Structure 1
Amino acid sequence: MNPGFRVRARSVFLSAGFFYIFAGTAVTLHVKDHQALGIAKLRALNRYMPALAELAASNRSATDMDVDYARSAAFYYRKVTDYLPQNPNGYFMLGYCLARQGNDAQAVRAFAKSAELNPAYFWAHYNLGVTRLRQGQLDEAEDAFRAALKTDPGTTVKVIFASKVFQQLLPEIRDPQAVILPGLKGGYQDCQRWIAVIGRLKALAQKELPPDFYNQLRPVIF
């Protein structure tokens, strides 16, 4: 082999090696900087955090949230999605707060994003179905309820207890296990019930829901 070629080849390999080391270091520093920025943003979120006791109490409540409170809670979770755009549970809670305000169009988008990011989470599909049904979107609501029924309950329970978003709320519930497990069981039953209701509405070619339906069609956290 030509000695000159060996020298040039070694130079190329050394240059390539240096490039990969440099690139790897740059990526590592970028990731660390991104993580540090994320932590700083999360700390800033504490300034916007609403009173979580009231938010937790609204779960499965028969009454709507106070309008001002619902607005502040939605503002907080919108910040969560801004700072953590890949966190499905931030979108889920944003959708919940928007739906409790009656802002169903935006709630649908938030629940849909949550279900897209974590299709294994039951309540994202369920609330998407409830909110679409409130808008009279029967086919889309049925699709969401059927997607919810395909999820594994155990995975949903794991998500609730592992998520930092939900961990904020759990201390505000006296006995989370007594709320979460029966609520989840009831949610699966409600999915089947609403699918049957949708079937009857389609048979009647009825898009408008009777007023008393809206008292039952409420989003829930868990």
Structure 2
Amino acid sequence: MIAYRFAALAVVASASAAPAQAPRALIVDRRPAGEDRQRNLSASVFSCSYGIRVLSDDGRSRKRLDALEAALRASSSARRLEQRPVVVRSYQVFFNSAAAQMDQALSIGVASVNGGAGFVGRSAAAPKCSRDKTPDGWFDPAETTNGNPPFVVDIEADVAGKPLSVRSVHSPTEALRVPATAFSSKAKKNFAEGQAGLEVDRAIDEANARFVSKVASLN
């Protein structure tokens, strides 16, 4: 009898010491391989994709899908999504400095002809081409809040079997430039350090907030 009681106590103690189950993931990652590979969309000044840079998660302390998972976890939709997670098809972050880079290129060209007199171009917060000619990273100047080149975040997902798209434009508080690739660290080239890193985090948070709001509206 005593042995039986000890055995029962051991079972109870073992059960109480068992670790709690991890919460179910709210996201299924179905992004194409290499989608967020850090790169410039085009090196040709004649292309509408010139000056648009794709940012990756390299060098970041917080990954974009981890940030989205946390935002969904804190939302009213979390319990529902545990039963049927969000399927993320695409999550891209672009830095569109096309106008600024075009003006810089033109300024160098004009200065070489005019003996140093540069070229004064349009606002850096303006797209190089129309939306129909810019498949990735395009923005409307009305979506910006200052004259700085913006970050553009595009999210494509399936929620409860329905497609859901979010597009968000974030204007950094200071003008950022794509660093010279020859001497810059990988993290710096990816805007993962200092003020640039904070601005990318803000861009991601703003896009995630829009996404969470749209998911909640599907309830």
Q: When the two structures are superposed, what TM-score results if normalisation uses the length of structure 2? A: 0.25
Structure 1 or 2: larger helix share?
A: 1
More strand per residue: 1 or 2? 2
Structure 1 length as normaliser, TM-score?
0.25
